Structure formats: structure tokens, C-alpha cells
Amino acid sequence: MNNFFLGQRSEFYVTAETPCPYLEGKREKKIFTFLGGDQAPIINATLSKRGFRRSQNIAYLPACDGCSACRAVRVVADGFGEDRFKRTIRRNRDLKRVMRPAKVTTEQFSVLRGYLDHRHEGGGMAEMTVLDYQQMVEQTPVDTFILEYRDEGGRLIACALSDRLEDGLSMVYSFFEPEEEKRSLGTFMIADHVRFARELGLPYVYLGYWVKGSPKMDYKAKFQPLEVLSREGWVPLQA
């Protein structure tokens, strides 16, 4: 199938079915298109508002037969309930946020490798090489950056790969030192992205898909106020 964005034809494709990584016994397939050219940032922003996610130079959307459990969500920066996370924020007050270009470093990959070995052994990303990581980070046609989080001694503790859209930040992938698990760094990085969005004057932080009942994805419902994409547009999530 095809469509037009700003006078540019975009071809859309459908993947074959594979096992769903979020709900046991389910099968998933996706609609996707390739991003490229001068209009890629605008097309990606437009598709993000319609529930698509970016991976390298591809924008994709779940299109599973008989299932609509994956629902795009975004945090509303104004009114974000930061008090709910004050312990996590206080626990990480020693960390310094550093914005970096979308370029790979060996230090980042070392943290990622430890994270994958500890948290995702046997998962789809378990065998990721430094070349795979480089492609994930650097193969981007849009405004992408890495937020590094370092302790007072300058040691890299966590990273978040994110895109800047016209109306917000879109978190693509985050990871952290497994030995620092007690810091609740996944939660902290989302809360800090909301802070960063406010600093930039952006209204939203896109978190990808919320899947009710999935331990991997259900946690996103705690970041309120949260909007979910529905047939009527973006509406408050009633979890």
C-alpha cells in the first residue's frame, strides 16, 4: 500500500507473523515504512502522532489479526506527577545528565552488554554486537541523541537513546548498569525525560506501547497524566 506525506510517496509493507513478545500465545505482525530524505523528520513526527515507532530507518505500527493490545502512549509533561517518584529522583540526585550526539562509544556498549546479559539473557537482543548497537544508534534519519547519566566520579551509569519530535521526546531504548538496579534507573530516566521535555518547551514524552497485562509494558501506566491513542485521537488513559 502507499500514502502521501507532504507530497512524498511512502510505501507501507506488512511483516510475516511471529510470536508476540508481550502476550503468551499471541502472534504479532507489523505495518512498516522506510524513513529517508529531507522530509524524514517531519514524516516520523507525523507517524509518531499516529502511533508509529521508529527503529533505525524504519517506522512501524502493530497490525495484529484479532488483537489491539498494543496501544501508543505519551506522558503529558505539564501536570506530570513527579511527587510519586520523589524517592527514585532523590536516590539518583548524584547523577548528571549529559546530552551526546547519536554516536557509539565503547563505554556505552560496555554498559549495554552488561545490561543485556543480566536482564535479557536469551532474549531477542541477547546476541547484540557492537556493530548492531552502532546501527541502532547511528542509522537514523531524524534528530536523535543519547542522554548519558554519570555519577559524581564520572562513571557512566545509564543511557537513553531518544528522538526529538516537533511536539515532544520519543524514548527509543534505555539501559543501565545492572549493579545499579536499586536506583530504579528505568523509572528515573522516564521521569527525567519529562523534566528535559519541560526544559525544551515540549509538551509530550512518547513511551511507545502500553500493553495491559504484560509485565514488560504495563508499568508505563504509572506515569500520569498519560494519554493513549484511540479512535477518537489522544485521550487520557483509563488503566
Structural domains in the chain, CATH included, are: 2-72 (no CATH), 74-236 (3.40.630.30)
**pLDDT reported for residue 149:** 98
> What is the average per-residue pLDDT within 62-86?
93
Q: Are strands 71-76 and 204-210 parallel, antiparallel or unpaired?
A: antiparallel
**pLDDT tens-digit map of 29-43:** 999 999 999 999 999
Phi, psi of 218 (to 5 degrees): -65, -25
- Determine the pLDDT at residue 9: 61
Q: pLDDT tens, 181-238?
A: 899 999 999 999 999 999 999 999 999 999 988 878 889 999 999 999 999 999 999 7
Please check whether residue 177 is in contact with residue 159, taking contact to mean a CB–CB distance below 8 angstroms: no
- pLDDT the model gives residue 217: 86
Task: Map grid coordinates 531504548 to a residue.
Answer: 173
Residue for grid cell 508505563: 220
Q: What is the Cα–Cα distance from 203 to 193, expressed in whole angstroms?
A: 11
pLDDT of 8 higher than 70: no
3 state SS for 168-195: EEEEEEEEECHHHHHHCHHHHHHHHHHH
Q: Which grid cell is 74?
A: 505519551
Answer whether 191's CB lies under 8 Å from 207's CB. Answer: no
Measure Cα distances from 28 to 17, 24, 68, 126 in Å. 5, 11, 10, 20
Residue 147 has pLDDT above 60, yes or no: yes
Nearest-angstrom CA–CA distance, 59 and 74: 17
Helix axes 106-119, 130-138, angle to 10 degrees: 110
Strand-pair partners of 160: 147, 174
- DSSP, collapsed to helix, strand or coil, labels residue 110 as helix
- Residue 27, CB-side half-sphere exposure with 13 Å CA sphere: 7
